[in-house]
Amino acid sequence: MLAIKIQEAMKQYRRKTGQKMTYELLSRCIGIAAGTLASMGSRVGYSTSTTNIEKICIGLDITPGELLEIIPDPPGKSKKKKKKTVRKKVTKKQ
């Protein structure tokens, strides 16, 4: 499972530049809603596009390796399997 470490990256940005970065400021810079950024940063396993990862990395001047972290799945947690839908064949009556 992947974790998107936006909060850590924003702190790193501040240490590097001396400028405070917030979700709202980052949102204005990269065009991703602040609420979406907050969700990405707080929910392990949040699914997003590589385009969004690229935008965040460019906005914070970091690499994807600095933004993403692999977190092992908790014990006992299994991936949900989709139920297979059985469709009945419809035939025309003559």
Question: Domain-by-domain residue ranges, the chain?
Answer: 2-70
pTM (predicted TM-score): 0.75
CATH number assigned to the domain with residue range 2-70, chosen from the 4 options 1.10.260.40, 3.40.50.150, 3.90.1580.10, 3.30.70.3420: 1.10.260.40
Report yes or no: 5 and 67 within 8 Å, Cβ to Cβ. Answer: yes
Whether the per-residue pLDDT at 17 is higher than 90: the answer is yes
Mean pLDDT, residues 70-87: 69
Distances (CA, A) of 68 to 8, 13, 46, 61, 74: 10, 15, 11, 14, 18
Mean pLDDT, residues 37-52: 94
Instruction: Output helix, strand, coil percentages for the chain, rounded to the nearest 5.
Output: 45, 5, 45
Report percent pLDDT > 70 for the chain.
Answer: 81
